[in-house]
Amino acid sequence: MNDAAADAVAGLTLELVEQARAIRWNSAPQDVRDLARQCLLDWIGVTIAAAGDPLARLLLDDALAEGGTPAASLVGHAERVTASQAALINGATSHVLDYDDVNLSLNGHPSAAILPAVLALAESKDLPGAAALAAFVAGYETAARVGLLVAPGHYARGYHSTRTVGTVGCAVACAHLLGLDAQRTAHAVGIAATQASGLKSMFGTQCKPFHAGLAAHDGLRAARLAAAGMISRTDALECTQGFALTLSPDFKPNAARAAPAKFYLRENLFKYHASCYGTHAAIDCVRELRETHSVEPRRVERVTVRVERGADRICNISSPTTALEAKFSLRLMTAAALAGVDTAGLEFFKDANMRDPMLCALRDKVVVELVEGWPVMQAEVIVHLTDGQTVHARQDAGVPSTDYGEQGRRLREKFTRLASPVIGAARAASILRYVDAIDDGSVAALMRLCASANRLGG
């Protein structure tokens, strides 16, 4: 970057920091506040459902062995740990099912990277729900703009944006909650940015959810260290050899700065299938074909799934052998949808099911075709039937809902289905009511509701 280019982007980090610091809960638009509560509810639901996962137990046992002053709750567990440990464990747990929300500007999972740290910090300091949600929105908006700053090359190069960009957004959220000034918040951004890491090659392994936990842990730590006086560069996003110019071949300050009054939270995408979001359009296409053309496995000769080329490095594991790998397999998830599997539930996602002969035979009839220039979350499914008929459907899962009432209804249904088997219907209903009233509520009280009286997963 030459001197003229450097001058043109000077102050970008501080500019984004000031935008984030200006966010206040009471002055935020009503739909933004509704969406923030929806993100919170959805995050709690997927985290409760995953509380018994081996990764959650592994991280919890490690935290207990490490020790520390208990200050924060763990979703679905009775044990209390430090705020940083809670951010790590709750963050990883919330992403372990790959059922948490998505934003395409970030190209990752914002709530899993930001909410665990915000909630742990707010609980440890007994801060109110409104302050925590305002901080979440501030971090979310920063993460979206930092994502745009380095898109698309950052993600395409192999970085997992949930970990890299998410850490920066989380640091801003925690700085907002701590009430840091612009300079201190910019230092937090720098401390977070220099910790950025996370490889997409880990998709389909436990390291992918671990990335979300690390984003929350390191973002919280960055804000705390900045509050304590630690010094970083205050132009870490834009400087030579900084975050953007080191981690991406693309550098788009104008995209990051565009429409400063815009809320990217309105583009949040919620999941209704328990798999990588890149598989959702294909699943929905198959469901449409089953409903409109009575497509059944016995009638299928072969299937073509057409998706944007970038899906090849996200969700195109050809022959998955584990349930975790299956979540990143267009072929397997398309076959599951053709077989009528309930992809919104968790019962299907067991390693043994990935070896089912009927499912594997159906999977082997699916061919993935990569297309240039399509919307990144669009899919077309073409099914050739044994009677010579061909049927097809096309859907774009990247279009956010604007019917927030219907979205809220679906999320409440999803939450109840995920949470009730783990914590009971009565406590699940209590959490629903508490999230609805979180503006005037206590984060500590909410997290106590989300904890369990019994140890899970071990």
The token duo for 458 is 């071990």
Per-residue confidence (pLDDT) for residue 357, from 0 to 100:
96
Per-residue confidence (pLDDT) for residue 436, from 0 to 100:
96
The token duo for 409 is 């209804």
Contact by Cβ (8 Å): 191, 222: yes
Over the stretch 350-393, which tens digit does the pLDDT of each residue have?
999 999 999 999 999 999 999 999 999 999 999 999 999 999 99
Per-residue confidence (pLDDT) for residue 102, from 0 to 100:
98
Instruction: Work out the angle at residue 163's Cα, subtended by the Cα atoms of residues 216 and 98, and round it to the nearest 5 degrees.
Output: 90
Domains of the chain: 3-270+433-450 (1.10.4100.10), 277-396 (3.30.1330.120)
Instruction: State whether the Cα torsion 115-116-119-121 is positive or negative.
Output: negative
Instruction: State whether the Cα torsion 269-272-276-282 is positive or negative.
Output: negative
With a cut of 70, which residues of the chain have pLDDT below it? Answer: 1-8, 453-458
Determine the Cα–Cα distance for residues 90 and 160; give it in Å rounded to an integer.
Answer: 19
Determine the Cα–Cα distance for residues 109 and 91; give it in Å rounded to an integer.
Answer: 11
Tell me, rounded to whole angstroms, the distance of Cα 88 from its chain centroid. Answer: 14
**Block residue for tokens 């629903």:** 432
Q: What are phi and psi of 371, to 5 degrees?
A: -120, 140
Contact by Cβ (8 Å): 322, 387: no
Beta bridge partners of 378: 396
Per-residue confidence (pLDDT) for residue 4, from 0 to 100:
47
Per-residue confidence (pLDDT) for residue 456, from 0 to 100:
43
Per-residue confidence (pLDDT) for residue 452, from 0 to 100:
78
Determine the Cα–Cα distance for residues 338 and 331; give it in Å rounded to an integer.
Answer: 11
Closest CA to 341 of 286, 414, 269, 398: 286
Per-residue confidence (pLDDT) for residue 10, from 0 to 100:
83
Determine the Cα–Cα distance for residues 140 and 42; give it in Å rounded to an integer.
Answer: 15
Burial pattern 119-143, b for ≥16 Cβ within 10 A else e, equals bbbbbbeebbbbbbbbbbbbbbbbb
Pairing label, strands 72-73, 300-308: unpaired
Q: pTM for the full model?
A: 0.95
**Block residue for tokens 């300091």:** 125
